[in-house]
Amino acid sequence: MNLYPRSFLRLILLGYALVALPLLAAIGYVSVGLNAIADRSAAAVQQASLTARLGWELPEQLQHMERSLRQYEVLHDASLLDDYETSRREWRQNSEEFARVPLLAPIARRIGDMLATEAAARHKFAPEAIKPLRETVTALKTTTITLLNEAGRLVDAERVAFRGEAEALRHRLFLALALALALAVVMFWFGRRVLARLLSRVERAVIALGQNRLDRSIRLKGPEDLQWVGRRLDWLRRRLLALEEQRTRILRHVSHELKTPLAALREGSSLLNEGVAGPLSPQQARIAGIMQGNALRLQTLIDGLLKMQQAGHVRDRFEPVALRLDELIQQVLDTHQLAARNKRLHISGTLAPLTVAGGREEMTTILDNLISNAIKFSPEDGLVRLTLTRAGDRALVDVIDQGPGVPEADREKIFEPFYRGAASKGVAGIGLGLAITREFVAAHRGSLDLVASPAGTHFRAALPLAGSTT
């Protein structure tokens, strides 16, 4: 079951959405919290403003009511009672509005009691007995001052509570933002890891194609378009495999077909040189020698091509056996004694007694190519250093000569078949030795590298020791 989206683009968009989701949730939470605190702030300001206005008007209205009653006691002017009634209506309306303020709910009942007291006194009022009503209004002034003081304390308490709640909200908002950022980072890391894993599969598949490892099919998991890329890469793998098999078959057939006429050519030129068909003139002998030399060179080229063709399949061919690598190196050195003596070369180094598992013929070819290269490129009276050491579960074979070295531009090309750099001019060879050597080393699950050296050339072959699981 494929849990990935249908396309790679959708996967990327889904990753962006997952990264943005915690941030959007945090923004939503912050927005709701800010709206709530803003609404409460507006309500608190409005109630505080209304309380302040009524706190100024109520004492003024009671003062006006008391003044009207006092003047009526002296003047007995009926218009003064009308002024009292007007101020009374305004006072009662403002008092009722004062009692309805949500902020003043704790003192709303006492405001109602004050209104009831005034209403009872007004109900008993008579023009000839005005003193009780006036005394009631005077007492209400004192009660109003007390209520206004308590209202001020309630406003201050609300202000303090609002400040504490705002501070708590600020902490919650910061915590929400921090949590959202942490979740976004986790989502980003997870999405990056998923994308990296998908792209690493493509990278490994391409590297396998580039390294000619064509034995394993390519199947990529992920979105459908990535699976389609995997199918195209597998088609390319099969195509390269078919081309490789075709190349190998043609090379094998061509090499085989060339061997028969080449053998006849070598035999004929050899007979001519030996004078079997009669004595040759100096010019004829020189031509026969050229023919024989080129026939030998062609034979070497064909043998190299066959060995190169075999090197690509050597891993499936040889039976690994335990080999004392130091003894095998010594045997190869013995075969090159004459060539080293002719150039008056000095070969030095230490060989640790190490055992590797591999094919005897293939391992001999590896050592022979490395040592013969060092001898061919070394100047006369030069020094060749050859060491065998252990590094972990690997045997390191280092071959160092004092030749012209490898130019920087040729360092990556010298392992390619038939490549001969500028330093190879005048040195016999067809450019297959290092390519064959690297194939044989890779078949033994080892590595062959050109090590940077201030002078000369330094090759290092790393081969797994016997019993190693590498």
d(CA 295, CA 267): 9
Does residue 197 belong to any structural domain of this protein?
A: no
Instruction: Find the CATH number of the domain harbouring 284.
Output: 1.10.287
Q: Which amino acid is at 226?
A: L
pLDDT of residue 183 exceeding 60, the answer is: yes
The alpha carbons of the chain give a radius of gyration, in whole angstroms, of 52
Average pLDDT, the chain: 79
Tens of pLDDT, residue by residue over 19-32, are: 777 777 777 777 78
Tallying the residues shown for the chain, one arrives at 470
Instruction: Find the CATH number of the domain harbouring 405.
Output: 3.30.565.10
Paired strand residues for 228: none
150, 174, 191: which is the final residue of a domain?
Answer: 191
Range among 261-275, 417-431, 434-448 with highest mean pLDDT value: 434-448
Does residue 442 belong to any structural domain of this protein?
A: yes
d(CA 349, CA 460): 14
Q: Are residues 260 and 158 in the same domain?
A: no
Lowest pLDDT segment from 175-179, 327-331, 338-342: 175-179
Q: Which domain holds residue 42?
A: 8-191
Crossing angle for the helix pair 360-377 and 433-443, to the nearest 10 degrees: 140
Q: Are residues 263 and 347 in the same domain?
A: no
Place of tokens 């070295």: 405
pLDDT of residue 398: 92
Q: What is the DSSP string of 206-224?
A: HHHHHTT--SS-----SSH
d(CA 467, CA 457): 31
311, 329, 363: which is the final residue of a domain?
Answer: 311
Per the structure, how many domains does the chain have?
A: 3
Place of tokens 């308490």: 157
In percent, how much of the chain has pLDDT > 90?
2
Sign of the C-alpha dihedral computed for residues 349, 338, 448 and 366 taken in this order: negative
Q: Are residues 345 and 305 in the same domain?
A: no
Does residue 390 belong to any structural domain of this protein?
A: yes
Lowest pLDDT segment from 57-61, 302-306, 324-328: 302-306
**What's the rounded mean pLDDT across residues 407-419?**
71
> Which of 301, 279, 328, 280 shows the shortest CA–CA distance to 431?
301
Coil, strand, or helix at residue 395? Answer: strand
Q: Are residues 247 and 305 in the same domain?
A: yes
Question: Do the Cβ atoms of 431 and 304 come closer than 8 Å?
Answer: no
Element of type H or E holding 346: strand 346-348
pLDDT of residue 6 exceeding 70, the answer is: no
Q: Are residues 246 and 160 in the same domain?
A: no
d(CA 151, CA 105): 10
Q: Which amino acid is at 162?
A: F
pLDDT of residue 299: 67
pLDDT of residue 222: 73
Element of type H or E holding 44: helix 8-75
Q: Are residues 433 and 353 in the same domain?
A: yes
Does residue 218 belong to any structural domain of this protein?
A: no
Higher pLDDT, 334 or 188: 334
Q: Are residues 99 and 69 in the same domain?
A: yes
Higher pLDDT, 238 or 292: 238
Using DSSP bridges, classify how beta strands 355-358 and 383-391 pair: parallel, antiparallel or unpaired: unpaired
pLDDT of residue 427 exceeding 60, the answer is: no
d(CA 366, CA 263): 28
Confidence of residue 397 (pLDDT cuts 50, 70, 90): very high
Does residue 28 belong to any structural domain of this protein?
A: yes
Q: Are residues 299 and 404 in the same domain?
A: no
Q: Are residues 125 and 57 in the same domain?
A: yes
Higher pLDDT, 373 or 300: 373
Higher pLDDT, 234 or 414: 234
Q: Are residues 14 and 43 in the same domain?
A: yes
Q: Are residues 157 and 263 in the same domain?
A: no
Does residue 177 belong to any structural domain of this protein?
A: yes
Q: What is the pTM of this model?
A: 0.46
Give the Cβ contact number of residue 127 at 10 Å: 9
Q: Are residues 88 and 146 in the same domain?
A: yes
Question: Do the Cβ atoms of 35 and 249 come closer than 8 Å?
Answer: no
In percent, how much of the chain has pLDDT > 70?
81
Lowest pLDDT segment from 234-248, 393-407, 449-463: 234-248
Burial of 432 (0-12, 13-18, 19+ CB in 10 A): buried
> Which of 371, 376, 363, 372 shows the shortest CA–CA distance to 387?
371
pLDDT of residue 7: 63
Residue 50 has φ and ψ, to the nearest 5°, of -65, -40
Lowest pLDDT segment from 103-117, 139-153, 209-223: 209-223
Does residue 34 belong to any structural domain of this protein?
A: yes
* DSSP structural state of residue 379: P
Higher pLDDT, 201 or 427: 201
In sequence order, what are the residues at sequence separation of 6 or more whose Cβ sits closer than 8 angstroms to the Cβ of residue 410? 419, 421, 422, 423
Lowest pLDDT segment from 91-105, 212-226, 337-351: 212-226
pLDDT of residue 3: 60
pLDDT of residue 57 exceeding 60, the answer is: yes
**What's the rounded mean pLDDT across residues 190-209?**
79
Lowest pLDDT segment from 174-188, 283-297, 395-409: 283-297
Range among 262-276, 287-301, 338-352, 415-429 with highest mean pLDDT value: 338-352
Lowest pLDDT segment from 56-65, 182-191, 258-267, 337-346: 258-267
Does residue 206 belong to any structural domain of this protein?
A: no
**What's the rounded mean pLDDT across residues 130-146?**
85
d(CA 119, CA 245): 116
Q: Residue 429 region, left (φ>0) first, then alpha (ψ -120 to 50), else beta?
A: left
